[in-house]
Amino acid sequence: MVFFLLARKKAQSPKTEYTMFSNEISFNDMPQAVAYLINKVERLESLLNAKQPETQESDRWFNLEELRQYHPDHPAAPTVYAWVGQRLIPNHKHGKKLMFLKSEIDAWLKTGKRKTSAEIEAEAKQFVTNNGRAKR
């Protein structure tokens, strides 16, 4: 088997550096060549892992059972089907299969926030100051 790697020592550094060279590698050079390849693969994996979490978490697809487990209330399947029928929950259909996108479910869950009494009072005060007295 022909490898295009040959190990050589750098004079200024104790670390082994590998260069491209078109010779066959002897059996004695094989551990160094394998170490070089493992190092390259590890660097590629670290680059891929650094970029994956962004897309992996936000755009994950759920089936019905996964959605039920993800939802904070863990609703029953008939409840989810009712939400789908009433078009209350964002969903996608692939043939007969219901699919839910995690980012859309997160946004949908955030829209159901109820205002606190302090928020309602602040809103009422702002309405009164902006509109003056109520008309009779």
Dig out the tokens for 10 from the structure. Answer: 């750098």
Q: Please report the pLDDT score of residue 133 as a whole number.
A: 60
The overall pTM is greater than 0.75: no
Q: Which residue has the tokens 């060279």?
A: 21
Q: Please report the pLDDT score of residue 3 as a whole number.
A: 44
**DSSP codes of every residue in 56-70:** HHHT-EE-HHHHHHH
Q: Quick: pLDDT tens for 77-119.
A: 999 999 999 999 999 998 999 999 999 999 999 988 788 888 8
Most confident of 11-15, 46-50, 95-99: 95-99
Distance CA 26, CA 18 (A): 15
Rounded to a whole number, what is the distance in angstroms from the first to the last CA of the chain?
95
By the 8 A CB rule, do 64 and 109 touch?
no
pLDDT band at 27 (very low <50, low <70, confident <90, very high): confident
Give, in order, the Cα–Cα distances in Å from 106 to each of 21, 34, 90, 102: 53, 45, 10, 6
